Amino acid sequence: MKPYQQIPILECGEPLVPLPITLERIQPHPYQALGAPYGDASPFQLRSGVVARLELAQQRLQPQGLGLQIFDGYRPLTVQQFMVTWTFQDLVRQYPTRPVADLYREVERFWAAPSLDPAAPPPHSTGGAVDLTLVTITGPVPMGSPIDEVSARSYPDYFQGQPVPFQANREQLNQAMIQAGFQRHPHEWWHFSYGDQLWAWLAGEPTAHYGRVAI
């Protein structure tokens, strides 16, 4: 169990809603392209309060010629399991001589376990977590590492003090999201939460608003 999963959940009943067309999204969806089993669910939906805050964050970015691009939103447990397995197998292919236990620990740093325990849901299964980046009219803003990279480069402050623009770009995204009420994952520059257990833990809130949503 991760520390934030000890936060109690008082489910508020807020619905999942589709992302508005004003929020750009990556198409085709990366996990669907790998064959992840979404069934009738869409990755481009989130709790209504999360969507409203994303629109606020985008409004703060627009004067700088920037917008948000959504990589992933709602994630059923079946997809969480699929991606944990896929990521582990991909690391095994990349590093065939490394101990399997070490590789699995690497996966655990970046992926929540697909827990069936309603008191410890993976953040994306709540509809309160979103993976995203910045874009301009010419394309994505350089962030120094791709979303979902399993390496230290994914840590938000990895490029601090280096003569590259990545840290400033990451901080611009973070500031827009923080001002809209989100909290950033400690290990992932792209992952932000509102209302879930991770958000509550980072924000010092006594309870989370969102539990797992089953579709």
Specify the long-range contacts of residues 174-180, CB closer than 8 Å, at least 24 apart: 176/57, 176/58, 176/60, 176/61, 177/57, 179/56, 179/57, 179/60, 180/53, 180/54, 180/56, 180/57, 180/60
pLDDT higher than 90, residue 1:
no
Residue 214: pLDDT band (50, 70, 90) is confident
Arithmetic mean of pLDDT over the chain: 96
Six token digits for residue 160: 């601090």
Q: Of these residues, 11, 14, 188, 205, which one is catalytic?
A: 188
**Containing H/E element for 27?**
none
Mean pLDDT score, 125-142: 97
> Is 188 among the catalytic positions?
yes
- Is the per-residue pLDDT at 36 higher than 90? yes
**Which residues have C-beta within 8 Å of that of residue 35, sequence separation ≥ 6?**
82
pTM: predicted TM-score of the whole model, two decimal places: 0.96
CATH ID of 3-10+18-190, from 3.20.20.210, 3.30.360.10, 2.60.40.10, 3.30.1380.10: 3.30.1380.10
